[in-house]
Chain A
Amino acid sequence: MEEVLFFLAAIGALGGAFGVIAMRNPFYSVLALIVHLFSLAALFLLLTSAFVAAAQVVVYAGAVMVLYVFVVAYVGGGGESAWEPIPGQRFLAPLLGIALFVELSVAVLSSSLLALGEDGADVKAGFGNPAAIGRLLLEKFLVPFEASSILLLLAAVGAIVLASNRRREESA
């Protein structure tokens, strides 16, 4: 049963990914990514990480993607010209992508991490639920938690500054 769900979610994720890189219209790419994110949330659930799955859906697919949608609507999606100015890029890129994948897989599959080949450790019932994550965040990872909130503040300020109407530069 698990395997079936895994494969379904995997297909969804892969399909979304290929859709992102293959679609001409950026809006369609955004939609493909949303599909991808939902599939990823399913995969997280398969890994009994409920909080992360929820966060993925709510934060990522919900907030971040909405941002994307707004910007794409504002900016519009243009086609890209077919001519490639960089010599050799169209040839080398797929080659390197495949090489990367092969190397990473080889690294994973032939590694001496024996645990990889087995089922995961036995976990208690509360593994991956908000309480567990919350406890970790506030006990062990307090500093990263606070630092990331400062980062969010910076990002927000930065975005406002970048996108603001600066009158004196508009005329340039």
Chain B
Amino acid sequence: MNTEWFVVLSALLFSTGALGILLRRSPMVILLCLELMLNAGNLALVAFSRMVGNGQGQVFAVIVMVIAACEVVVGLGLIVAIFRRRLPLDVDDLRELRG
């Protein structure tokens, strides 16, 4: 099983995530697409870790997961706050900074 396959799959997943960010308008879905991209990165890290033979890539992947979790928490908190203020949950409508 050579590492090429995993890395190419990771690239494909990454591009899919990027495409999703560009095309979807709901903040929820955009966050989900961010998750996709992060996971693609994780996959690449673990694949390389296996290729090289030491566990450093895996540790890196674990830390990335931690970061992803924090980011999700804050992002969802934002979405909840937006929803509470009865603003439309649409990235295109949330264009202006207002006090």
The interface of chain A, by Cβ under 8 A from chain B, is 2-3, 6, 10, 13-14, 17-18, 20-21, 26, 29-30, 33, 36-37, 40, 43-44, 46-49, 51-52, 55-56, 59-60, 63-64, 67-68, 71-72, 74-75, 77-78, 80, 85-86, 89-90, 92-94, 96-98, 100-101, 104-105, 108-109, 115-123, 127-128, 132-133, 136-137, 140-141, 144-145, 148, 151-152, 154-156, 158-163, 170, 172
Q: Does B52 contact A (CB under 8 A)?
A: yes
Query: What's the minimum C-beta distance from B49 to chain A, rounded to whole angstroms?
Result: 7
On whether the beta carbons of B53 and A122 are closer than 8 Å, the reply is yes
On whether the beta carbons of B29 and A26 are closer than 8 Å, the reply is yes
Choose one: B23, B62, B76, B81; the contact of A52 (CB below 8 Å). B62
User: Residue of B at shortest CB range from A104?
Assistant: B11
On whether the beta carbons of A47 and B23 are closer than 8 Å, the reply is no
On whether the beta carbons of A101 and B73 are closer than 8 Å, the reply is no
Q: Chain B interface residue count: which class?
A: 35 or more
On whether the beta carbons of B81 and A163 are closer than 8 Å, the reply is yes
Classify the secondary structure of A's interface with B.
helix
On whether the beta carbons of A133 and B66 are closer than 8 Å, the reply is no
On whether the beta carbons of A6 and B69 are closer than 8 Å, the reply is no
Residues of A contacting B63 with CB < 8 Å?
141, 144-145, 148
On whether the beta carbons of B20 and A20 are closer than 8 Å, the reply is yes
Choose one: A10, A59, A96; the contact of B22 (CB below 8 Å). A96
On whether the beta carbons of B19 and A152 are closer than 8 Å, the reply is no
User: Residue of A at shortest CB range from B22?
Assistant: A93
Residues of B contacting A71 with CB < 8 Å?
28, 76, 79-80
On whether the beta carbons of A132 and B55 are closer than 8 Å, the reply is yes
On whether the beta carbons of A109 and B66 are closer than 8 Å, the reply is no
Residues of B contacting A47 with CB < 8 Å?
6, 46-47, 49-50
Instruction: Give A172 to B81 CA distance when docked, in angstroms.
Output: 13
Choose one: A78, A85, A115; the contact of B89 (CB below 8 Å). A78
Query: What's the minimum C-beta distance from B6 to chain A, rounded to whole angstroms?
Result: 7
User: Residue of B at shortest CB range from A127?
Assistant: B55
